[in-house]
Amino acid sequence: MRTAEASSSWFQRYLLPGFAFKAVVIGGGYATGRELAEFFLPSGPRGGLAAMLLAMLLWSIVCMATFLFARAHGARDYLSFFRALLGRGWIVFEIAYLIFVVLILAVFGAAAGEIGTALTGLPPLSGTLALLVAIAAFAMFGNASVERLFKYVSFLLYGVYFLFVVLAFTRFGERIAAGFASDAPATANWALGGIAYASYNIVGAVVILPVLRHLRSDRDAVVAGAIAGPLAILPAVLFFTCMVAFYPAIGAQTLPSDFLLRQMNLPWFHLLFQLMIFAALLESGTGAVHAINERIAKAWLAARGAALSPRARLLIAVVLLAVCMLLADRIGLVALIAKGYRLLAILFLLVYVVPLLTFGVARLRRRPAITEELP
């Protein structure tokens, strides 16, 4: 009988993990440009690009180690992964991850609300509720539904970002060139910005463990992990390049994407880009909720001997989303990112990245490479 891994395509083995990782990373702040303004613009145009490349390198390294460790221990959800990595200390990551989910879903709800208001003039709650319903619908049907979402939204996202750059250079290319030409030397904290940004986002590598079921060998894990970093950072680099045209004033904008689109004065593309951002919020939120569903599904199977039903997945998603997104009505998007994300960066460095790259890698080196499909 052929295993699931043996029947996997090259897309599922090499590109799907990177697309899934990008889906978790892009989120509300990256897609709208808010995170880029928070972590990279303070270092200047060239310093910001250097920080992005550093973040990309860190992502690829940690993704490769994560994928190898998960494959070695047969971990297809974050609970299994951290029980293997931290033993009884797995609960520390669970607490940190729940804080992360509450924060990012609140951010996504706030971003969706602002996008809805910008497009339709309706109250922000309408955009937040639309995102809630869409995430719950995709999370309801498990792995196959989520993987299709990652695939098709990725094609839309890369296409729209490419068109965005073309139009930006057509409309204000001289300003972009001038922004890079007049940049002062990169400030000393550019590396700190790259490390901080990479650290809290790197949790995406364990959020997407369910899609690693397609990997056939350790080589697949290494290739998929190496590709994940560039796939995740490419849209950010393109977007940041366009933001430089209005540096430094654009750093004060709540939605830098909306600011740039108004400068282009192309209503049709403004609508397309905002719809793409909503799709990015959808895939990011779905990835976070799906990880929790998979964690609960494993516990449910162990306790009840039955799979978690689509109805149960839907109920979990709706309750989680409703609780988290209520924060969006009380705290602004900028405040959420500025106050919450740096704490998460420290948490994930301590409970995930440092243990994985020290004794996790040491344990990997002591065991034979897995070159055949896992049953």
Q: pLDDT (tens digit, 9 = 90+) per residue, 23-79? A: 888 865 577 788 888 889 888 888 899 999 999 999 999 999 999 999 999 888 888
Asked whether residue 250 is assigned to any structural domain, the reply reads yes
Tokens of 336: 């959420």
pTM of the model: 0.84
Confidence (pLDDT) at 186? 54
Number of other residues whose CB lies within 10 A of the CB of residue 358 = 10
Q: Which residue from 235, 236, 237, 198 is spatially nearest to 344, judged by alpha carbons?
A: 198
Identify the pLDDT of residue 81.
93
Dihedral angle sign, alpha carbons of residues 165, 130, 321, 282: negative
The predicted pLDDT at position 28 comes to 53
Sign of the CA dihedral with 283 first, then 285, 288, and 289 last: negative
Q: What is the distance between the alpha carbons of residues 345 and 341, in angstroms, rounded to a whole number?
A: 6
Instruction: Give me the pLDDT at residue 331, please.
Output: 58
Q: 203 in a domain, yes or no?
A: yes
Q: Does residue 24 lie in a domain region?
A: yes
pLDDT of residue 297: 85
227, part of any domain = yes
Distance of alpha carbon 172 from alpha carbon 180, whole angstroms: 13
Q: Which of 154, 152, 151, 146 is nearest to 210 (CA)?
A: 146
**Concatenated DSSP letters of 319-371:** HHHHHHHGGGGTS-HHHHHHHHHHHHHHHHIIIIIHHIIIIIHHHHHTS----
pLDDT (0 to 100) of residue 375? 39
* 319 within domain boundaries: yes
Burial of 367 per CB tally in 10 Å (0-12, 13-18, 19+):
exposed
The fraction of the chain above a pLDDT of 70, given in percent, is 89
- For residue 281, give every residue at least 6 positions away whose Cβ sits within 8 Å of its Cβ, in sequence order, or none: 27, 28, 31, 108, 111, 112, 131
The residue assigned the tokens 């297809």 is 76
- Domain carrying residue 189: 10-355
Q: Of the candidates 17, 321, 281, 314, which has an alpha carbon nearest to the alpha carbon of residue 153?
A: 281
The two three-digit tokens of residue 178, written as one number: 């001038």
pLDDT below 70 — which residues of the chain? 1-7, 27-29, 183-188, 326-342, 367-375
Number of separate helices (H) and strands (E) present in the chain: 17, 0
- pLDDT tens-digit readout, 276-301: 888 988 988 898 888 888 888 888 88
> What is residue 119's predicted lDDT score, i.e. its pLDDT?
77
In a domain, 370, yes or no: no
Radius of gyration of the chain (CA): 20
Q: What is the pLDDT of residue 25?
A: 86
- pLDDT at position 122 is 84
Confidence (pLDDT) at 325: 79
CATH number at residue 321: 1.20.1740.10
Give the Cα separation of 32 and 205 in Å (integer). Answer: 22
Does 328 map to a domain? yes
Residue 104 lies in a domain: yes
The conformation of residue 170, written as its DSSP 8-state character, comes to H
Q: How many domains does the chain have?
A: 1
Based on the number of CB atoms within 10 Å of its own CB, is 111 exposed (0-12), middle (13-18) or buried (19 or more)? Answer: buried
* Phi-psi region at 296: left, alpha or beta (left = phi > 0; alpha = psi -120 to 50): alpha
| Matching residue, tokens 């306790």 | 303
Per-residue CA distances from 74 to 83, 205, 220, 229, 284 (Å): 12, 15, 15, 23, 24
Tell me the three-class secondary structure of 49-110, residue by residue: HHHHHHHHHHHHHHHHHHHHHHHHCCCCCHHHHHHHHHHHHHHHHHHHHHHHHHHHHHHHHH
Retrieve residue 2's tokens: 């052929």
3-state percent helix, strand, coil for the chain, nearest multiple of 5: 85, 0, 15
